[in-house]
Each structure stands twice: as C-alpha cells, then as structure tokens.
Amino acid sequence: MIRAGVAGVLCACLGVLAWRHVAGIRSPRPALPRMVVEGSKPGGSSTVSLHGTLTSRAYAHAEAVSRGADAIVIVLRDRDRRACEDLGRQLRELQREAGPRMLAMVTTDSAASEMYVRYLRREHVRATVVVLSPDSVLEGYPGLPTPAVLVRHGTSANGVAHPVRFPNLRLISFAAELRPLLR
C-alpha cells in the first residue's frame, strides 16, 4: 500500500516535470527588444524599443513609489551616469513632459545608489532611487540596454533605451520618443 503510494507520488512528480519541460518549450518566450535605428536623423541613433512585464520586485517598488498610478521607471547602470553628459537635461525634460502627477523612480544597483541620489539632486531631477539591478527590472531581459526609460501601467512597461553614447547631446530625447505614453 505504502509502496503503491510512493510510486504514485513519484509518477505524479515526473509527470509535472515532464509537463513543465514541454510547456517551457512550447510557451512563447518574452519578445526580444525591437531595434529601431534612426541613422538618418542627426544626433539620433540606435533607440531600442522595450515592451515587457515588470518583475515582481520592480512591480513592488513601482507600487510603493506611485501607489498604483502610472509611473516613470528610469533604469540606469553606473556607466550611464558617467558617460551620458545629456542625461540630466533629458530626465528634466521627461519630467516636465509627464507633469507632476507621474512620479519617477530610478533603479540602479546598490553600489551606485548613493551616487545617484547626489547626481539627481545636482541635476534637479525629482525621483526616488531604488536599489534594483537593471537586469531585474523586466521579465526576460537580463541584459536590459541602458539608459532606459519605461512607463509602467500596472505590471506592463513600455519604453525606450539609448545604449549608444552621444557626447554631450542627444537630439532625440526620451521625452520626444515617449510623448504618446506620457499623456
């Protein structure tokens, strides 16, 4: 009787594993970022469109910051702050476009969070800095290109990334590209 029970449990476990394996193969993977190249426009290039679902941790942070409302999620790696001379201007423009109603959070890893607080204060960007690796913001995007700005609505997030550096000035800004999502 006991043997039969153990065998049944084993069979059930094997069945679940087999089903998960098959389901994993058959279920669609998250869409990869779409590349949109703007090579013809001076000062603009390599905008990466991003569409995805917030991870549970990113969602929890966004909920805490915006209390259920839409929010701007700015995803930065340390190199973005060092290399992008135009980031401050772009983020201020983005906030003006979004208006005071839409709150912003900056996600970055723990090593850089204090630097970001100082950087954002100096650049007069009002945003809550949360410690969350850029690789853990969107489901299925461990190598999320940055700097990225997402507009989150519930668990979904849409936005763009500017992974190609332009010294001092990027004419096509986050605000210009995300205008339809910010209204």
Partner 1 sequence: MRIQRILHSLVLGCLLAACAHDEHGRAGRAGRRTLQLENVVALDDAGQPILARPERLSVGRDGSLYIADFSDKNVKVYAPRGRRSRTVGGPGRGPGEFQALMTAQVYGDSLAAFDFLDRRLSVFAPGGRFARTIPLSRLGFAPFSVRVVDDSLFLAIAAMPGGERNDALALVRPDGEVVSTFFKLSRYLGSSPMVLQNVGVIADATGGVVFAGVAGGDSVWAFDYEGRRLGAAPVDPVAPLVTTRALLEGNGGKLARGDGSYVVDGIRNLVGLVAIDSGTVAMQVAPYDANTGTDPVEGGTFIVAALANGRLDTIARGELQGALAGRDRQGAALVLRYAGASQDRYTISRLRIAAAATAGSGAP
Given 51, 57, 92, 165, the residue binding partner 1 (CB under 8 A): 92
Helix (H, G, I), strand (E, B) or coil at 64: helix
Helix (H, G, I), strand (E, B) or coil at 105: strand
Interaction of residue 165 with partner 1, rule CB under 8 A: no
Stretch that binds partner 1, among 64-72, 97-105, 130-138, 163-171 (CB under 8 A): 163-171
Stretch that binds partner 1, among 5-13, 50-58, 69-77, 89-97 (CB under 8 A): 89-97
Binding positions for partner 1, 96-155, rule CB under 8 A:
96, 115, 118-119, 121-124
Q: Please, which residue, 116 or 141, has the CB nearer to partner 1?
A: 116
For residue 71, the minimal CB distance to partner 1 (Å) is: 21
Report the DSSP beta bridge partners of residue 128: 105
CA-based radius of gyration for the chain: 20
Interaction of residue 41 with partner 1, rule CB under 8 A: no
Residues 170 and 86: beta-carbon distance below 8 Å: yes
In 67-142, the DSSP E strands lie at 71-75, 103-108, 128-131
Question: Residue 155: how many CB atoms within 10 A of its CB?
Answer: 15
Interaction of residue 168 with partner 1, rule CB under 8 A: yes
